[in-house]
Amino acid sequence: MGKLLGCALKGAGILAAAELGASAYFYRRTMKRGNAKTDRTIKMAGTDWAQYFPLIEKKKEWMLEQPHEDVYIRSHDGLRLHSTYFKGREGRKIVICFHGYTSEGMSDYIGLSEYYLKRGFRMLLVDERAHGKSDGVYIGFGCLDRKDAQRWIRWAIEKIGEDCEIFLHGISMGGATVLMASGLNLPVQVKGIISDCGFTSPKEVFSHVLKTMYHIPAFPMIQIADKVNKERAGYGLDECNAAREVKKAQVPILLIHGDKDTFVPCSMCERIYENCAAPVKKKLIVKDAAHAESYYKDTKAYEEALDSFIGGI
């Protein structure tokens, strides 16, 4: 009996060590700058970007021809944050853009830059913390970045003036960022929020990925990662949830999602929409679009949704 108990305890110890090791590996490659790789994210998202490369290169060439400059500010916790500012026609409208996980501002808004700049918007393409030229070791997954968004909003007001009109546009992690920001006390200059394939919370999207792509249970890996992240990065993986934050939203919100998104399931968009208390809420589900593909899959529908949303405001 003692030998059996000893074997059981030894087996339990080995299993616990394996769980801890797997959790540490998952955490390092997901939450820390340098370990989170763009090529791995693209592969996991499953979007076939090769088909759009000629169009993207053409739009990128046009974008880089437009006058732009680097801007730096300080976050609430002392990080040096970077964005790229396009002055456009120097009107009073500006869109502040937030990119996806392991990307950067100048990558995710190549297509949309033409849409916004030709309609008289200024643009501020943010590098979220621990991405691009911004400081940071731990990725914020919207939970920390929403506070950085407040700083960028204040910069825009100081740059353009109190009569400016600000829109927030986010893609993927950036979409979660702007939706999480909707629950904050935003200045009156913020007129609307656009979220493209934003997730509810890091905890929920990680749990989904572990189950559907790695075929392993989220428990206890997520719980361990959550505890470690609270200690190191200063926030819990479900501390801020877009589906909860939109219940407090006081500005109009447009949600966009592809119905073939396997990385951030469209069901998250539906839940966010159902919970959304914004004075105006609209939704565009793009048929056959994978993760972050909606603009390129159906540019006409995407731009018409933006025209209707912004024009209505």
Confidence category of residue 212, pLDDT binned at 50, 70, 90:
very high
pTM exceeds 0.85 for this model: yes
For the record, the structure tokens of 194 come out as 């656009």
CA within 13 Å, CB half, 40: 10
pLDDT score of 9 more than 80: no
CA-CA distance, 265 to 201, in Å (whole number)?
12
Confidence category of residue 1, pLDDT binned at 50, 70, 90:
low
Of residues 165 and 18, more confidence is placed in 165
Q: Each residue of 72-131: pLDDT tens digit?
A: 999 999 999 999 999 999 999 999 999 999 999 999 999 999 999 999 999 999 999 999
pLDDT score of 135 more than 50: yes
Quote the pLDDT of residue 288: 98
- Asked: is 32-201+240-312 a CATH 3.30.43.10 domain? The reply is no
Nearest C-alpha neighbor of 150 from the set 126, 116, 117, 133:
126
- What is the CB neighbour count within 10 angstroms for residue 245? 23
Quote the pLDDT of residue 105: 97
CA within 13 Å, CB half, 1: 0
Kindly give, in sequence order, each residue whose CB lies less than 8 Å from that of residue 96, ignoring residues fewer than 6 positions away.
Answer: 124, 126, 149, 152, 153, 156, 166, 167, 168, 169
Which segment of 15-24, 168-177, 216-225 scores lowest on mean pLDDT?
15-24
Strands 122-127 and 80-86: antiparallel
Instruction: Determine the straight-line distance between the first and last CA of the chain, rounded to whole angstroms.
Output: 74
For 68, which DSSP code?
Answer: E
Per-residue DSSP letters for 249-265? --S-EEEEEETT-TTTT
